[in-house]
Amino acid sequence: MSADHIAPAVTTNFIRNIVEADLAAGKYTARRFSGRPGPAGVQASASPDQAKIRTRFPPEPNGYLHYGHAKSICLNFGLARDYGGACHLRFDDTNPTREEQEYVDSIIDAVHWLGFDWGENLYYASDYFDWLYEFAEALIAAGLAYVDSLSADEIREHRGNLTEKGRNSPHRERGVAENMDLFRRMKAGEFADGAHVLRLKIDMGSPNFNLRDPIAYRVRHATHHRTGDKWCIYPMYDYTHGISDALENITHSVCTLEFEDHRPLYDWLNEKLGAMNLLNLPLPHQYEFSRLNLTYVVLSKRRLIQLVDEGHTDGWDDPRMPTLVGARRRGFTPAGFRLFAERIGVSKSDSWIDMSLLEDCMREDLNEKAERRIAVLDPIKLVIDNYPVGQEETCFAPNHPLKPELGKREMPFSKELWIEREDYMEVPAKGYRRLYPGNMVRLRYGFVVKCSGADYDGEGNLLAVHCEYLPDSKSGTPGSDSYKVKGNLHWVSLLHAYPAEVRLFDRLFSSPHPGAGSDGERAYLADLNHDSKKVVIAYLEPALKAAQPEESFQFERHGYFVADRVDSQPARPVFNRTVTLRDSWGST
């Protein structure tokens, strides 16, 4: 775990209960090895302690990870961490046409960034192509698989539907020798894509579609990102997944609920191969939990790709994207995600989680960690008429109100300051406590000032606010707290301020359930929030010039901001707003 790990009180859930029961029953102490070599890392780490649990996170490298994946990562790696087991990172890379190295690299980065490590247990399903092929031959030899030569349309048509059972393919009763010959010739490249498939011989009459002789292999003349042109037949996801789990001695194969109907196939396949002594025992078991549904975003790779490809956002790492690379650029933190995963828990019931819960977790983590700084986002000049021209002095501001040990920093003070435009009102609204003619406020960490009026241009636009300061009111000097004023404003010295680009991000969609209530694949796009990104030139206190990329701060009164990791230059950071100080999307 990385050093910044917040250890939230671990709440139990049904999967933890299962793991605890399995460990208490000694389920993994009597592992029986088939005597066959497994993947090297598993062999190496399996022997000294065979009793431990093994989980895995199995992404398909065909897109960037999103917030939903963070739930699955925290769950799987969290189980391994809490029960002294191992969690494997396995790329389910069986589809040669959709997968790319760029995605593999970004997934590796994202899991590490979240604070998890798989040690030696990094695997690729494509590393198992030889085993998967050999097992397919074993299934053919046992009469449990056959080569079908129907077209894709015919196979679909034979599969039946919810009310109608499927029908057997005319090729279902091919003999073992013919099946073996055809399958080897599929592998040898004798057939075009789609000419034949290998199917598991289960039950065309099963009420479960997944058991109606599912396809195990198809011909696909395509170059794979890792195995190159070695193969022209590729195994299907369902065929690959359970076998990969078993080869890696996975104990608890935890996935989302849409795979529940696939579990009978998962078990059928592993039980058959286990009975042939091709797999180690006990076999892995699959458990399903409900996926994360989060308001104000979309969490489906297909839609995320669309948002990027059609230019609705500025790429995968746009801070508004619900991807983990986007979250990182936005200033969301790994500890915030881990806290969120604990808070939302794990169950089998489908529900929506409100985005404000995720934002609150980020606030909670950042409130603890982020140093405070001053930034004026919408500047107007404040002139202190009785302050000597050319004079400067230093004020001191604490870096963190909860952590005095972090010390104070210097803030230069001078005759002209930047303050927020909204901190002045010519005619104050009821209850307004900031600057208006005749009112006194404290310039935070500085002096008490009394407002004397403002300058306007010919069109009535505010140009500057004027005030007089009380020289004996400087914060931290004796007697300074005898001034009781209600307003407390932030400011930066005009001479010393650092003008910087600051991006104010808001939620990407303006509706909690994008696209809900309208038909069509693209309906969710109509709910895009067109004010989700605003760029301003703000005036920042000089200390912020030294901010390092990815360093987070609380800009007092404004929220949490991070120095952008892509666009910041040395000594010229630009900032992204991570989240405001309070939820501004609530019902009030």
Considering only 65-73, 123-131, 483-491, 538-546, which stretch makes contact with ligand ATP by CB under 6 A?
65-73
Pick the closer one to ligand ATP by CB: 192 or 257.
257
Q: How far is the CB of 521 from ligand ATP (least distance, A)?
A: 14
CB 395 within 8 A of CB 430: no
Q: How far is the CB of 396 from ligand ATP (least distance, A)?
A: 47
Pick the closer one to ligand ATP by CB: 283 or 324.
324
| Pairing relationship of beta strands 54-57 and 575-580 according to DSSP bridges | unpaired
Considering only 20-28, 55-63, 370-378, 474-482, which stretch makes contact with ligand ATP by CB under 6 A?
55-63
Q: Tokens in use for 190?
A: 């004798």
Residue 225's SS3 state is coil
Based on the number of CB atoms within 10 Å of its own CB, is 365 exposed (0-12), middle (13-18) or buried (19 or more)?
Answer: buried
List own/partner pairs for 512-519 with CB under 8 A and 24 or more apart.
512/295, 512/296, 512/352, 512/354, 512/355, 513/295, 513/352, 514/296, 514/297, 514/298, 515/298
Q: How far is the CB of 228 from ligand ATP (least distance, A)?
A: 23
Q: Residue 59 interacts with ligand ATP (CB under 6 A)? A: yes
Q: What is the 3-state secondary structure (H, E, C) of 494-548?
A: CCCCEEEEEEEECCCECCCCCCCCCCCCCHHHHHECCCCEEEEEEEECHHHHHCC
Q: Residue 577 interacts with ligand ATP (CB under 6 A)? A: no
Q: Residue 320 interacts with ligand ATP (CB under 6 A)? A: no
Catalytic residue among 60, 371, 468, 501: 60
Q: Look up tokens 């986002």; give the residue.
A: 377
Q: How far is the CB of 76 from ligand ATP (least distance, A)?
A: 8
Q: How far is the CB of 257 from ligand ATP (least distance, A)?
A: 9
Q: How far is the CB of 330 from ligand ATP (least distance, A)?
A: 19
Amino acid at 105: D
Pick the closer one to ligand ATP by CB: 183 or 289.
289
Question: Contact with ligand ATP (CB under 6 A): which of 18, 33, 60, 475?
Answer: 60
Q: Residue 56 interacts with ligand ATP (CB under 6 A)? A: no
Q: How far is the CB of 89 from ligand ATP (least distance, A)?
A: 11
Q: Residue 72 interacts with ligand ATP (CB under 6 A)? A: yes
Considering only 57-65, 97-105, 228-236, 564-572, which stretch makes contact with ligand ATP by CB under 6 A?
57-65
Q: What is the 3-state secondary structure (H, E, C) of 353-374?
A: ECHHHHHHHHHHHHHHHCEEEC
- How many other CB atoms sit within 10 Å of the CB of residue 391? 9
**Using CB under 6 A, which residues numbered 295 to 314 contact ligand ATP?**
299-301
| Residues near 147 by beta carbon (within 8 Å), at least 6 away in sequence | 171, 174, 178, 179, 182, 183, 186, 196, 197, 198, 199
Closest CA to 538 of 558, 515, 567: 558
Pick the closer one to ligand ATP by CB: 58 or 487.
58
> Does the N-terminal peptide bond of residue 322 adopt cis geometry, omega within 30 degrees of 0?
no
Q: How many residues of this chain bind ligand ATP (CB under 6 A)?
A: 14
Catalytic residue among 226, 291, 372, 450: 291
Catalytic residue among 56, 90, 199, 301: 301
Q: Residue 326 interacts with ligand ATP (CB under 6 A)? A: no
User: Crossing angle of helices 355-369/334-344, nearest 10°?
Assistant: 130
Based on the number of CB atoms within 10 Å of its own CB, is 396 exposed (0-12), middle (13-18) or buried (19 or more)?
Answer: middle
Q: How far apart are CA 234 and CA 213, in angstroms?
A: 17
* Residue 403 among the catalytic residues: no
Q: Residue 69 interacts with ligand ATP (CB under 6 A)? A: yes
Question: Contact with ligand ATP (CB under 6 A): which of 34, 256, 452, 488?
Answer: 256
* Residue 185 among the catalytic residues: no
Q: How far apart are CA 206 and CA 37, in angstroms?
A: 35
From residue 265 to residue 294, the character string flagging contacts with ligand ATP as x (rule: CB under 6 A) and all else as - is: --------------------------xx--
Question: Contact with ligand ATP (CB under 6 A): which of 136, 255, 451, 467?
Answer: 255
Q: Residue 166 interacts with ligand ATP (CB under 6 A)? A: no
Based on the number of CB atoms within 10 Å of its own CB, is 484 exposed (0-12), middle (13-18) or buried (19 or more)?
Answer: exposed
Q: Residue 81 interacts with ligand ATP (CB under 6 A)? A: no
Pick the closer one to ligand ATP by CB: 245 or 423.
245
Pick the closer one to ligand ATP by CB: 298 or 547.
298
CB 211 within 8 A of CB 265: yes
Q: Residue 71 interacts with ligand ATP (CB under 6 A)? A: yes
| Residues near 410 by beta carbon (within 8 Å), at least 6 away in sequence | 394, 395, 396, 543
Pick the closer one to ligand ATP by CB: 302 or 545.
302
Q: How far apart are CA 391 and CA 552, in angstroms?
A: 32
Considering only 66-74, 96-104, 205-213, 411-419, which stretch makes contact with ligand ATP by CB under 6 A?
66-74
Q: Residue 212 interacts with ligand ATP (CB under 6 A)? A: no
Pick the closer one to ligand ATP by CB: 68 or 334.
68
Pick the closer one to ligand ATP by CB: 296 or 418.
296
Name the residue with the smallest CB distance to ligand ATP: 68
Q: Look up tokens 């897109």; give the residue.
A: 63
b/e map 501-539, b = 16+ CB within 10 Å: bbbbbbbbbbbbebbeeeeeeeebbebbeeebbeeeebb
Q: How far is the CB of 350 from ligand ATP (least distance, A)?
A: 11
Based on the number of CB atoms within 10 Å of its own CB, is 471 exposed (0-12), middle (13-18) or buried (19 or more)?
Answer: exposed
**Using CB under 6 A, which residues numbered 408 to 467 contact ligand ATP?**
none
Pick the closer one to ligand ATP by CB: 278 or 324.
324
* Residue 301 among the catalytic residues: yes
CB 259 within 8 A of CB 128: no
Point out the residues that are catalytic: 60, 291, 301
Task: Give residues in contact with ligand ATP (CB under 6 A).
Answer: 58-60, 68-69, 71-72, 255-256, 291-292, 299-301
